[in-house]
Amino acid sequence: MKKNITMVNVSDKPITQRRAVAMAEVSMRPETLRIIMQGKVKKGDVLAVSTLAGILAAKKTKDLICLCHPIDFSHIDISFSFKKNLLLIRAEVSGAQRTGFEMEALTAASVAALNVYDMCKYLDKSMSIEVKLLEKEGGKSGKFKRK
Amino acid sequence: MKKNITMVNVSDKPITQRRAVAMAEVSMRPETLRIIMQGKVKKGDVLAVSTLAGILAAKKTKDLICLCHPIDFSHIDISFSFKKNLLLIRAEVSGAQRTGFEMEALTAASVAALNVYDMCKYLDKSMSIEVKLLEKEGGKSGKFKRK
Amino acid sequence: MKKNITMVNVSDKPITQRRAVAMAEVSMRPETLRIIMQGKVKKGDVLAVSTLAGILAAKKTKDLICLCHPIDFSHIDISFSFKKNLLLIRAEVSGAQRTGFEMEALTAASVAALNVYDMCKYLDKSMSIEVKLLEKEGGKSGKFKRK
Amino acid sequence: MKKNITMVNVSDKPITQRRAVAMAEVSMRPETLRIIMQGKVKKGDVLAVSTLAGILAAKKTKDLICLCHPIDFSHIDISFSFKKNLLLIRAEVSGAQRTGFEMEALTAASVAALNVYDMCKYLDKSMSIEVKLLEKEGGKSGKFKRK
Amino acid sequence: MKKNITMVNVSDKPITQRRAVAMAEVSMRPETLRIIMQGKVKKGDVLAVSTLAGILAAKKTKDLICLCHPIDFSHIDISFSFKKNLLLIRAEVSGAQRTGFEMEALTAASVAALNVYDMCKYLDKSMSIEVKLLEKEGGKSGKFKRK
Amino acid sequence: MKKNITMVNVSDKPITQRRAVAMAEVSMRPETLRIIMQGKVKKGDVLAVSTLAGILAAKKTKDLICLCHPIDFSHIDISFSFKKNLLLIRAEVSGAQRTGFEMEALTAASVAALNVYDMCKYLDKSMSIEVKLLEKEGGKSGKFKRK
C-alpha cells in the first residue's frame, strides 16, 4: 500500500544546463515605496536584506518544498525595479542539474518579498505580494515564457 | 559606525497573547483546480502536502525572515477554500510572545502555496500566487483587519 | 594529534548508481492500527504526515548523521503495509553518488515512524519502533540483502 | 474546507515542569559490541558521536516531527549500557513547557542509534534498532511508565 | 555507563535579563580596508552582508554549539569600526533567559567576520580573524569585562 | 536596478579537485589547556565535541556564508595540536567542485574553536580565537600557502 504522495524519479534524466526566472511584485502605497527608496525604513536597508534573504532561501528550497529534489545551483541573481506602487523583485537561478530551478527561483522571490513586508509592516500592513514564474529553460518540458 | 540594518529590541515589550491570519490565493485554470479536488495530481495529495509545508515553514520563520525574532508559537492552523479559479490557503498562528506572528502566518501561507505550485506545475506553469495579511491582534500596534 | 573521529575520504570512489531500502515497523495495539486505517486519528492523516516527514528527513541526513557525507539523491519512495499489530514503513532511496544511501533510507524510515508515534501517542504511549536495513546495492561493498 | 491535518492548540495549557525518557536498543553481533567497547571502530569514538548526535537531534525535533510544537528544553542527558548483544541508549529530556518532551527524547534516542549504525555498518549491516518511550511525567495526561 | 559529554542542567536557574558582547577583528591590508569602505568589493556591500550573516548565525547558535541550550534572544546588534588595518565587528545579544548569550554573541561575531573574509578573499587570502568576548552580565557567574 | 550584492556565477568553471586547509588557534591559560588534556573539563571530552562540531559546521557552510555556493565535499579532517598556551585546530576539506573549499575549512575551524570556548568558558572567559587560511589548491586562482 502506498500513500498518494511521491517524489518524481529523476535518475534517468540527463544533467543539462537549466535556468528559471521568477518575479515577486510587492504592492504598496507610493509613500512606502518612497521611504524604501530614500533608505529611511526603520529596520534599515530593505533591498540589501531582501537580496540576501532571497539568496539564502533559494539554498533552502529542498527543505521548504517537500517534494523538491535536493539540487545545487551555480548562480542566483536578485534584482529590483519600481513601477508606480509596485516593488518588483526578480530572481534568476541557473545551473546544470537533472531537474529545473523553477522552485528555487519562486522561493527566492517569495522570501525576498516577505522580508520587504517584514521591514515595512510598521508603515503599512495592507501590502500584498504576487509571485509568478517568468521564464524557464532547459530540460525535457522545454522553454516556458510568461505572456 | 553602524550598518543601517537592525533588529528591533523587544526586551521591554510585555508577553501578551497574539494572533495573525494570512491568506495565499493560488490563481489557476479551473481545470487544474478540478484535478486537485479530484485528487488526481501526479505527485499526490496536494492539500496534505501544502498543509504540512505551511506548518513546517512557520517553524522556520526566524531563519527565512532575517530581522525576525526567534519566537515559538502555541498553534498554527492551515485551511483551504475554493473560489472559481482560486485555491485559497488560510494560515492562522497564535501564541503568547513579546512580538507578533504576522511573519509566521505570511510565511506559512506563502510556502503552502509554493508547494501547490510545485505539485501542479506540470499541468500549468502560469499559475500565480498572491499573499496578504488578513488579521492581526495583540501587541502595542493593536488590531489590524484587512478590508 | 588527532581526535579519534573521522569522516571516510570518498574522493577516489567512482560515482555509481546506488540504492538502499530500509524498513521501520511500528508495533501497536490492533485498535490503534484500526483507528489509523479508518483515518480517525485526532491530529489527522497519519500516512500522509509520515510520508512527508520521511522524505524531508532523508534530505536532512547529512545534518543528523555526523560522519555522513553531504550527498543528494535522485529519488525517494515511502510506502506502507500492515501486518497484525504492525504498521510497516518502507523507505527506498536511490541516486548516482560516490557513497551509498543506507543512512538516508534508515533516517527516512525512522523519522516517518516517529511521526506515526507522535500522532498516535494520545491513544497509546507503549508503541515501539524497530528499524533495519533491508537491501543495499551499488558501490564497492556490493549487494546486501537482509535474510 | 480544512485538510485533515492539525497541530494541537496548547495555548490554554499551563507551563509545567515535564520530563520524558526514551530508550533505543541497537542489536548487534557480540563481536561488533566488543569492537565498539575497545574503541577500535574505524570512524572513531562511537559513543561520543552518538551522544552528540542525540543532543543535536533533540534540538531539531520541531523540524523532524511535523506536528510537534516548537519548544525549548532545559536539559538533555544521553547515557549508554550494554546487555549481551545490545547497546542500550537512554535519552532523558526535561524542561518547563506547555507540552511534553516525549518526541524530543524519542528523536534523540533514534538519531543517536542511527549514528551507531552509520559508524559500524562496515562491520555488519544487519544490526537493527528498537526505540520506545520508557517514562513520561508532567502535563495533563499524567505519568507514564513502561512495564 | 555514561559518555563523558554533558549539557548543563539549567532547570533550576531563574530567568534573568542577560547580555553578552563579543568582538571579531578582521586583520587585513589597508588597501583591502579602503576597497571595503569605498563599497568597491566585487561581491557587493560587505557590511550589509556581514551584519545579516551575524544576525542569522546568532539564531542558529544551538545547532552550531553542540552543548548550548536552545534559547531565544530579544535583541541583537551588529556594529563596525575601523582601526588601521583592522575591521572590528561588535555583536551584542540580550534577552531574558535561564542561561547567558556568550555563545550567541561569539557565534554572530565569528560568522559576520567569515562573511567579510568570503567577500574579500579574491583581494587577499592572508586576512585573519580574531574573536573574543568583551562583556557579559546577568546570571550567577556575574559580570565579566575584558581588560 | 540591482542591489550591490552578488553571488559569483560559476557555471563556466570546470569541476576540478580542490583542497583547503584552515587553522584556528584558541589562546588560553596553560592551566586550562592542562585541564582539557587531562579530560577533566566539566562538560566532557572537548576534542571530541570540537571535532564533530567542526565537521557538522562545514556541512552548513552554505547557510552561514551568504554568498557561498551550495557545494558538497568528499572529505573533511579535523586535527589538534598544542603549543604553549595555544590549542591549534586544523581543518582540511577536499572534493571535486566548480569552486573552492576555503569557506568550508574556515567555518569548520571557527565553529570547532567556538565549541572549545563554550566548554571551557566556566574556567576562563578571556580565551580568544584566531582563524586563518593555511593552504588552498585547485581552481583558476591557483595555489595559496600562508607564510
Return the CATH number at B76: 3.30.70.640
Confidence band for D140, pLDDT divided at 50, 70 and 90: confident
B45 labelled catalytic: no
Please name the residue that has the C-alpha cell 541557473. Answer: A94
Give E130's contacts in chain F (Cβ within 8 Å).
128-131
B140 has pLDDT over 90: no
> Touching check for A1 and chain C: CB below 8 Å?
yes
Q: Quick check: helix, strand or coil at residue A73?
A: coil
Confirm whether E2 is domain-assigned: no
Confidence band for D50, pLDDT divided at 50, 70 and 90: very high
The residues pairing with C17 across neighbouring beta strands, listed in sequence order, are C96
Give the number of other CB atoms < 10 A from CB of residue F84. 7
Confirm whether C5 is domain-assigned: no
> Touching check for F96 and chain A: CB below 8 Å?
no
B95 has pLDDT over 80: yes
Residue pair A49/A115 in contact (Cβ under 8 Å)? The answer is: yes
Confirm whether F109 is domain-assigned: yes
Low pLDDT (below 70) residues in chain E: 1-3
Residue pair A135/B116 in contact (Cβ under 8 Å)? The answer is: no
| F59-93 per-position pLDDT tens digit | 999 999 999 999 899 999 999 999 989 999 999 99
* Separation of alpha carbons D61 and D83, rounded Å: 28
pLDDT of residue B11: 86
Q: Between chains, do E98 and D74 touch, taking CB under 8 Å as contact? A: yes
Confirm whether A4 is domain-assigned: no
C1 has pLDDT over 70: no
Domain that holds residue F116: 16-138
CB pairs under 8 A between E and F: 149
Cα A43 to the center of its chain, rounded Å: 22
Q: Between chains, do B7 and E94 touch, taking CB under 8 Å as contact? A: no
pLDDT of residue A2: 64
Confirm whether B5 is domain-assigned: no
How would you classify the pairing of strands F128-137 and D16-27? unpaired
Residue F69 sits at the vertex; the CA angle it makes with E87 and D70, to the nearest 5 degrees, is 85
Q: Rounded mean pLDDT of B134-141?
A: 90
Please name the residue that has the C-alpha cell 489509523. Answer: C36
Look over chain B and give the mean of its residue pLDDT values, rounded to a whole number: 94
Confirm whether E1 is domain-assigned: no
Dump strand ranges (E) for C16-85. 16-27, 75-83
pLDDT of residue F11: 86
Pick the closest to residue E1 from D134, D46, D32 (CA basis).
D46
Tell me whether residue E4 is exposed, middle or buried, using C-beta atoms within 10 angstroms of its C-beta: 0 to 12, 13 to 18, 19 or more.
middle
Pick the closest to residue A72 from F91, F7, C17, C101 (CA basis).
F7
D2 has pLDDT over 80: no
Cβ within 8 Å of F, E 21-80? 39, 42-45, 48-49, 52-53, 56-57, 60, 63-68
pLDDT of residue E1: 63
Cell numbers given for E139: 546570571
Confirm whether C7 is domain-assigned: no
For residues B98 and E129, the model is more confident at E129
Share of chain F above pLDDT 90, in %: 81
Tell me whether residue A145 is exposed, middle or buried, using C-beta atoms within 10 angstroms of its C-beta: 0 to 12, 13 to 18, 19 or more.
exposed
For residues B49 and C14, the model is more confident at B49
D95 has pLDDT over 80: yes
| D52-77 per-position pLDDT tens digit | 999 999 999 999 999 999 989 999 99
Tell me whether residue C147 is exposed, middle or buried, using C-beta atoms within 10 angstroms of its C-beta: 0 to 12, 13 to 18, 19 or more.
exposed
pLDDT of residue C109: 98
Those residues whose C-beta lies under 8 Å from the C-beta of residue C66, and which sit 6 or more positions away, are D49, D52, D53, D115, F52, F55, F56
Confidence band for C114, pLDDT divided at 50, 70 and 90: very high
Cα B99 to the center of its chain, rounded Å: 17
Look over chain D and give the mean of its residue pLDDT values, rounded to a whole number: 94
Residue pair B52/D66 in contact (Cβ under 8 Å)? The answer is: yes
Cα C116 to the center of its chain, rounded Å: 13
Cα separations (Å) of B91 from A22, B106, C115, D77?
24, 7, 22, 36
* Separation of alpha carbons C36 and D130, rounded Å: 21
C2 has pLDDT over 80: no
Confidence band for D139, pLDDT divided at 50, 70 and 90: confident
Give the number of other CB atoms < 10 A from CB of residue D141. 13
Number of folded domains in chain C?
1
pLDDT along chain A (147 residues), means of 10: 81 91 97 95 96 98 96 94 95 93 98 98 97 94 90
Q: F3 to chain D, minimum CA–CA distance in Å?
A: 32
pLDDT of residue E11: 86
Neighbours of chain E (3+ CB pairs under 8 A): A, B, D, F
F45, F77, F118, F124: the catalytic one is: F118
Confirm whether C108 is domain-assigned: yes
pLDDT of residue A1: 63
D45, D72, D77, D118: the catalytic one is: D118
> Touching check for D107 and chain C: CB below 8 Å?
yes
Note if the pTM is more than 0.80: yes
pLDDT of residue D27: 98
Cα separations (Å) of D18 from A6, D141, F22, F42?
38, 11, 43, 25
Confidence band for B139, pLDDT divided at 50, 70 and 90: confident
Residue pair C20/C136 in contact (Cβ under 8 Å)? The answer is: yes
Q: Which of E8, E11, E63 to mutate to test the interface with D (most CBs of D within 10 A)?
A: E11
Q: Rounded mean pLDDT of B57-71?
A: 96
* H/E stretch holding F79: strand F75-83
Look over chain F and give the mean of its residue pLDDT values, rounded to a whole number: 94
| F12-46 per-position pLDDT tens digit | 888 999 999 999 999 999 999 999 999 999 999 99
Neighbours of chain B (3+ CB pairs under 8 A): A, C, D, E
Give the number of other CB atoms < 10 A from CB of residue B131. 31
Cell numbers given for A116: 520587504
How would you classify the pairing of strands D128-137 and D75-83? unpaired
Pick the closest to residue B104 from B19, B43, B44, B26 (CA basis).
B19
The residues pairing with C27 across neighbouring beta strands, listed in sequence order, are C86, C128
Q: A85 to chain F, minimum CA–CA distance in Å?
A: 16
pLDDT of residue E2: 64
